Structure 1
Amino acid sequence: MATSVLIADDQRLVRAGLRMLCEAADDIDVVGEAADGAQAVRLAAELQPDVILMDLRMPGVDGVIATSQVMAARAVAKVLVLTTFDDDDHLYPALAAGAAGFLVKDTGPAELVGAIRRIAVGDFVLSPHLLQRLVSRAVEVGAPRDVTTAVPLTARERDVLRLVVQGLSNQDIAVALHLGVTTVKTHVSNAAAKLGAQNRVQLAVHGYQLMA
């Protein structure tokens, strides 16, 4: 079954480009477009897309508020923020609102399509440099270290975790370690369970502390 996508961006050309990119993939189906946050919230409820590509800077209701409202409505959609702005003033509010991913608009086409697929199956996606920034910030403010001190990770789980810390996707990790993607997902899930990480950011933070 194809992943259904709703595109929310106030620029018509951007929406058209994203539609062309998504529809070039056989397993992604664009079911609607929204020109502002309020319309995105309405269409999310009406169309029940799997993934919403959400811009942050839109007139009226912005992307952060729209994301928060979509999540509050318990929509099935997962929000993937796609924005020009990757500063903390945009990143943290978007994640706090419930976004399942955050990419900047200079992301490559293949990476974006891959991110949509990953978000659709419950993965958490961040541009690698943003993940590194979140990890560094968490360590700077004194995230607890004792959660990782006596965790019995296997050697392979440690190998995978080290690459998660570097910001690699499951696909990239699979290539680097010559493993199947499903195997990598299993190692990531096992490591997250052992470390008590709720998402990929927390896993990267705990991994950084463990490797330090």
Structure 2
Amino acid sequence: MSEVRVLVVDDQRPFRLAAAAVVRRTAGFVLVGEAASGAEAVAAAGELAPDLVLMDVNLPGELDGVGAAARIVARDPAAVIVLCSTYDRADLPSSVAASGCPYLHKADLGSAELRGLWHRFGLPSA
């Protein structure tokens, strides 16, 4: 069984630190990198080949989380992108639903949720 390689993308350092801590304490998952913008996320994903990307919806610059997710998946269809934000589901931009990526409220991120997301895709146990 191999580890699930995770890239955390968020423009807010406190959330990146919190998400990284969750990944580190979740057996079978390993943090391979962090990024603070959509452009950094695309570059990091190309270099690091993560299995799972936890991607903020709102990112600075011309490439938001949804756009970055689309570019990453276009290059690596096996990558699993989970969009994260503090929006309630009813308040999400329509682009999130149209992306086909699952959504996770940032407050719900924990080890059990991380494993649950991974298993939802029918991927090997982490």
**Do both share a fold (TM > 0.5)?**
yes
Deviation larger for 37-46 or 112-121? 112-121
1:19 matched to 2:16? The reply is no
Higher-Rg structure is: 1
* 1:28-43 → structure 2 map (5 Å cutoff): 28-43=29-44
CA 1:107–1:22 in structure 2 vs 1: closer, same or farther (change >3 Å)? same
Partner of 1:69: 71
What SS class does the counterpart of residue 26 from structure 1 fall into? coil
What SS class does the counterpart of residue 33 from structure 2 fall into? strand
Which of the pair is proportionally richer in strand? 2
- 1:92 CA displacement: 3.7
> Identical aligned pairs, as a percentage?
32
Deviation larger for 111-120 or 53-62? 111-120
Q: Is the 8 A contact 2:23 2:111 kept in 1?
A: no
Give the total of aligned pairs.
Answer: 121
What SS class does the counterpart of residue 117 from structure 1 fall into? helix
1:59 matched to 2:60? The reply is yes
Which of the pair is proportionally richer in helix? 1
Residues 13-47 of structure 1: CA deviation (Å, up to 9, x unaligned)? 11011111111112000000000111111111111
Root-mean-square deviation over aligned CA pairs? 2.0
What SS class does the counterpart of residue 54 from structure 2 fall into? strand
Q: Is the 8 A contact 1:64 1:97 kept in 2?
A: yes
What SS class does the counterpart of residue 57 from structure 1 fall into? coil
CA 1:95–1:44 in structure 2 vs 1: closer, same or farther (change >3 Å)? farther
Q: Is the 8 A contact 1:55 1:81 kept in 2?
A: yes
Deviation larger for 87-96 or 73-82? 87-96
Structure 1 spans left out of the alignment, 5+ residues: 123-212
Partner of 1:49: 50
**1 CA distance for matches of 2:56 and 2:8?**
9
**2 CA distance for matches of 1:120 and 1:4?**
15
Partner of 1:86: 88
Report the AA paired with residue 78 of structure 1: V
CA 1:72–1:107 in structure 2 vs 1: closer, same or farther (change >3 Å)? same
Partner of 2:108: 107
Q: Is the 8 A contact 2:19 2:109 kept in 1?
A: no
Report the AA paired with residue 24 of structure 2: E
CA 1:14–1:47 in structure 2 vs 1: closer, same or farther (change >3 Å)? same
